[in-house]
Copies of this chain bind each other. A is one copy, B any other.
Amino acid sequence: MHFSTETGHPTLADLFLTPPAAVESSALDAIEQAADRVLGEIGIRFQDPDSIERLKAAGGAVEGDVVRLDGPGLRRIIRASAPERFLLRARNPARDTPVGGAGAPVFAPVYGAPDVLADDSVRQRGTLGLYERLVAECHLSPALGNTGQMICVINDIAEADRPLQMLRAHLSFSDKPFMGTVASAAATRDIIDLTAQAVNRPAAERECNLLHLINCTPPLTYWESPLQCLRVVAEAGEASMVSSYMMMGATGPATAAGALIQGYAEVLAGMALAQLWRPGAPVVMGILAWPFDMRSMLPNFGDPVSQSIQLHAGALGRRLGVPVRADGAVTSAKVDDAQAGADGGRVLSAAVSSRAGFVLHAAGWLEQGRCISIDKLRRDAAMISRSCFPAALPCEPPLPLDAAIDAEIRDRLSGGRGRGTA
């Protein structure tokens, strides 16, 4: 943590960073060894022939759509080329954010909420108008270094148009970095191209413009679309956040140790595949798991077992040399009450202590993520600012979007849509 009130004896500078959680290396060894057994004896299902071929060429043993893999070999592939830290760039160079390394994490808002609770406390389905407002809110918040993606679902726009509409909102109402789409391989490529035009600076090694949420579908499966998106993203030199988001007792083991083992096996395979498509492609590792309540049939967001899992995921990532993802102020609470506060405060503490590089769902989350609240987004952002943001960026309006790019997006949305999403 950095604190602006510090006036600083230089030899004490390291005091102002939250110490990382010190996990026993024997525990990490045990997780790695068990994950290697899962990879070698059970394998991972890849629902995409190209990915299977690529893994086979790298030594994987293919049987149907299951590939049995060599864990230590995957770690060697990742360590050989995946960057420990990379620069996620913005339309406004002053807003570029490093991801990974020793600094404070990058915080991004909720991803994927169907509903929005606006500040008149009326809950409504997400719309384009609300989406634009949410991007503007995130832009104004010094705590949020990234305006995310699919902050809410845009229910009033045809699904095929949503990636471009979201792009236009992120580019028009903010000049901070944001996340890419994974709606389809074609849409992913489309958004990568347009964003590159908007950023309009040549990218050096370990620099990119978009971070993409590439989800494994636990247990031990990658679906076709995320695999195709992963390839597009990696080959473009853009960043993938390869994540296993487990429901403990449903899509993952009920125990913390079991979830760590399964999740680590899953994300090792995905991150190595990204390196095989293009060595050096930035990846962020996410191993997240929440207990699943068999009575409510809902995950129990905020349960402390997940804090322990996050602390271990952070240590596994440091050992591997890749930035790590964390959850932010998540909760199962339906309103922003003491439970929401306590859950979010503890999960945020674990995110910071785990030395995560990127915190998704950092602010605004209510009710298992089914709703984003603008009031809570502001409260969570204030908590993040007080907790670990080194220095507030000046709160300025975004630079105006280049008219040609705006016209290009509008053009693709009306007549020329086929070009992008065909």
Contact = CB atoms under 8 A, between A and B. Distances in A.
Nearest to A10: B30
A235 to B, nearest CB: 37
Interface string A309-349: 00110010000000000000100000011111111111011
A336 B342 CA distance: 10
Contacts of A11: 26, 30
A18 interface: yes
A34 B10 CA distance: 13
A128 interface: no
A129 to B, nearest CB: 27
A257 B9 contact: yes
- Copies of this chain, complex-wide, total 2
A257 B1 contact: no
Interface string A1-37: 1010111110110111011111110110011001000
Contact of A5 (B22, B24, B255): B255
Interface string A284-321: 00000001000000000001110110011001000000
Contacts of A342: 329, 341-342, 344-345, 379, 383
Interface string A347-360: 01110010000000
A21 B24 contact: no
A6 B254 CA distance: 8
Contacts of A386: 303-304
Nearest to A308: B1
A184 interface: no
Contacts of A22: 19-22
Contacts of A9: 30, 34, 257
A305 B257 contact: no
Interface size on A, as a range, is 35 or more
Interface pairs A-B: 4 shortest CB-CB: A341-B341, A345-B345, A22-B22, A349-B349
Contacts of A312: 15, 19
Contacts of A383: 342, 346
Contacts of A265: none
Contacts of A171: none
A165 interface: no
A406 B48 CA distance: 77
Given A304-B388, A353-B21, A387-B304, A256 B16 contact: yes
A183 to B, nearest CB: 34
A260 interface: yes
Given A337-B337, A338-B340, 18 more contacts: A1-B307, A5-B255, A5-B305, A8-B257, A12-B31, A12-B257, A15-B30, A15-B257, A16-B308, A18-B307, A19-B24, A19-B311, A19-B315, A336-B338, A345-B345, A345-B346, A346-B349, A349-B350
